[in-house]
Amino acid sequence: MGAQNPYILSGLSEESSWDLFERKAFARGAQRPPKLVQIGQEIVKKCQGLPLAIEVLVCIMHYKREEGEWQAVLQNIKTWKLQHTKNEIMPELWLSYVDLPTHLKKCFAFCAIFPKDRDIEKVKLIRLWLAHGFIASQKGNDMKG
């Protein structure tokens, strides 16, 4: 496409990675229990400076407040990193899928019927989810679009 060499992006520094995670995992002004901070720092190291991985995991961690829950996520990352999935899905993304409620997993998995790299029309997808009973229709919402 051009005569210029590509610019290879490097991952975030460990400090920047932790800053991103910490700002989003803990509410502003909230206490940061030392054990959760320690586990969080281990989680961040597993992300290897990848902002997408950090964002995905921090969305999971934000609503978890118990040490056992954080430890379970860390252990799952270690387990998923050891296993290589056929589709080479990033372990952090797979973990976010595993953490979804069952009804949302069905909706997400349903998207596999569409060809790879094809745009999916939002309204059409929602209508298909409704037709298959994955989600319930809200009264008065006729899904015009």
- Residue 119 within a domain: yes
pLDDT of 136 reads: 83
- Are 46 and 79 in contact by the 8 Å Cβ rule? The answer is no
pLDDT of 84 reads: 47
Q: Are residues 116 and 60 in the same domain?
A: no
Q: Are residues 21 and 72 in the same domain?
A: yes
Q: Are residues 66 and 83 in the same domain?
A: yes
Range of the structural domain that residue 120 is part of:
101-145
Q: Are residues 20 and 79 in the same domain?
A: yes
- Are 64 and 73 in contact by the 8 Å Cβ rule? The answer is yes
Domains: count for the chain: 2
Rounded to a whole number, what is the distance in angstroms from the first to the last CA of the chain? 37
Write down the pTM of the prediction: 0.58
Q: Are residues 91 and 113 in the same domain?
A: no
Burial of 91 (0-12, 13-18, 19+ CB in 10 A): buried
Domain end call among 83, 99, 115: 99
Q: Which residues of the chain have pLDDT under 50?
A: 84, 86
pLDDT of 10 reads: 84
Give the Å distances, CA to CA, from 33 to 46, 49, 89, 122, 126.
20, 23, 32, 41, 41
Q: Are residues 57 and 47 in the same domain?
A: yes
- Who's near 36: CB < 8 A, 6+ residues apart? 67, 70
Q: Are residues 22 and 83 in the same domain?
A: yes
Q: List helix spans (H) across the chain.
A: 14-25, 34-46, 51-61, 67-82, 91-98, 102-110, 122-131
